[in-house]
Structure 1
């Protein structure tokens, strides 16, 4: 079912965030709730706490950014459809399992959702109303999707995690046409998610540049997925099983095919996502959850074949590739960054938003238990641990 999500406007943030008068007025505004399947309209007032509020309450938000080009997104989708229409023999040339598939292609039936072997995830599914549960209740099988990882990060001068730092793969058949559309679209959604990270920092009572600095050398990845609708285009087919992402923030651009569902933390409702031009979906990942000691939880999602997926396929020209491409970007903290939930609690002791959420948790008879998150864990170790859980870690 469709369900409201908050929307934040990066254009307003960029225009007004340096104005204390505008900020003071705006922080009194409440987020306006927008249904993803409706036409989106934006309250012109900006709350600097909106992003933090949304990620705490929902685990997700919709962001409007006029810099996001519909044309660049279409060009990107065209390129990836053409790439994944190649024979498997050609695709295999771009495999890099020795670096945990963190650049190049990952073929279908390789990546396994973590949920089937992760008791907290099973408990979440059990807690949902039956009609709100994901289609993949048991897990255990690999996803039928392919993926391509294209690095968009700055290489650190030195690192304890060299296997997470590797050169991009340029497919041989696309030697002269690959780099530009990947870089242009990746740069657009990267700057959008970095804007959200600034809003989030301010909303949590941290310096605006906190997450940008922590992610300066992050292994940021333009990470489109591809599903062959000729083979898997059946109602109820699971393209990507119920899961969270291991990075800090995930940003999704528009796909040509429906099928992305997310779950709101505060309601447990399944949300069907449909984005108009210039809008993107942002979800919290495991790195953000660990950074905040669980104040913000990583958002669950799945991708499945729905009637709307097949309707979009039927509406396409008959000679178009029958391939569902996602327009996904994973934004990471630097691999060598040390996560400290205790430090986060100390640094946000004066944050009205954080303290309000702490009181709400206590009033509900619960506890904000940062002890569940390892103190002093490096981001690169967290990433490697998660890659092992989803069958992508090579052990190298």
Structure 2
């Protein structure tokens, strides 16, 4: 890992979007087309809120194992609450991932039309500020995601607000990830090679080494090294399908650290931005031509697609 070359993913400033929305969209979309990834600084999520979230995350995972497992929902597909260490496995991987995580979703009002397919949140008693902190952070991620989707829409020659109805009441998930210290002879890696399921992923915490993408042009693994405080954003399979692979969902992984860092935990916070469950993932006409025939002539709802993928990674059992 120490010799892994760095991916030349550009760092863009979301602050530029207000001044030059078309220019930002062009740069953002071009990075997605080349790498499936972009790095975004000045994303608008307040640093004091992020700092508070890191403290709450560390406190949560420091709780006794039995207390954390009280918030594990058997048969729930990991949709909300706690998922124990060595549960999730990358598609086609031989070993489970060396991680534990907690999922927070959208808070829906009573009687909402998606209540049957979007689970209620699970809130721990400890840490005491956990719920308030992560409801606020979820909203902040939501706003940043809306701005990035607007840039993607411009890049695809869609109206800037094209994604707004698609993600209103979307089944997005904020994941708090803990990769515990691991022995030198650990079997498997912290997160096996995989692609994300959703539209886009917004990630905080990638400054700690380990995140790598698979360069489609060369077949090499490349390290992603964002500046301090910047957000890593990547294409998910739903957006890849929607755009007929014009915007590719790039394989990525989290490799184990060098020996001197194996006694340290690694934390990260990805926000998996999903459309609403009834959104129909149907290939955009402008991404289809003679050289790029429609790879997905049969559309599928976001809910059905998500279910298929959760079965593949072992979070839902058939």
Length-normalised TM-score, structure 1: 0.72
Look up the match of 2:201: 250
Residues 288-367 of structure 1 correspond to what in structure 2 (within 5 A)? Answer: 288-307=239-258, 310-311=260-261, 322-341=264-283, 344-345=284-285, 348=286, 367=291
Runs of 4+ aligned structure 1 residues displaced above 6 Å come to 233-236
Q: Which of 186, 192, 197 is the equivalent residue of 1:241?
A: 192
- Contact (CA 8 Å) 2:85, 2:98: kept in 1 or not? yes
Unaligned runs of at least 5 residues, structure 1: 18-22, 24-45, 117-138, 315-321, 349-353
Instruction: Tell me the secondary structure at the aligned position of residue 391 of structure 1.
Output: coil
**Matched residues in 1 for 2:307 and 2:62: separation?**
31
Structure 1 stretch 274-283 or stretch 56-65: which is displaced more? Answer: 274-283
User: Quick one: structure 1 residues 331 and 256, their matched pair in 2 at CA, closer, same or farther if it must change by over 3 Å?
Assistant: same
Summarize deviations over 1:80-104 as a string: whole Å, max 9, x none: 1111112221111111233311000
Match in the other structure for 2:25: 48
User: CA offset at residue 241 of structure 1?
Assistant: 0.3
Q: Judging changes above 3 Å, is the alpha-carbon distance between structure 1 residues 66 and 389 closer, same or farther for their aligned structure 2 residues? A: closer
Structure 2: stretches of 5+ with no match in the other structure:
none
Match of 1:220 in 2: 172
Distance in 2, Cα, partners of 1:333 & 1:66: 21
Do 1:251 and 1:282's aligned partners in 2 also have CA atoms closer than 8 Å?
yes
By percentage of residues, which structure has more helix?
Answer: 1
How much has 1:60 moved relative to structure 2?
Answer: 0.7
Asked if 2 retains the 8 angstrom alpha-carbon contact of 1:95 and 1:105, the reply is yes
Q: Secondary structure at the residue paired with 2:178?
A: strand
2:9 to 5, 14, 18: 5
> Paired residue for 1:145, among 99, 102, 120?
99
- The answer (yes or no) to whether the contact 2:107–2:120 under 8 Å persists in 1 is no
What does the per-residue CA deviation read over 1:122-169, in whole Å, with 9 as the maximum and x for residues that have no partner? xxxxxxxxxxxxxxxxx222112111100136569424x823x11111
Distance 1:310 1:217 in 2: 44
Structure having the higher Rg? 1
Aligned residues: 313
**Matches of 2:139 and 2:184 in 1, distance apart?**
31
Task: Check the 8 A contact 1:63/1:282 in 2, yes or no.
Answer: yes
TM-score scaled to structure 2, two decimals? 0.89
Contact between 1:248 and 1:332, CA under 8 Å: does it hold in 2?
A: yes
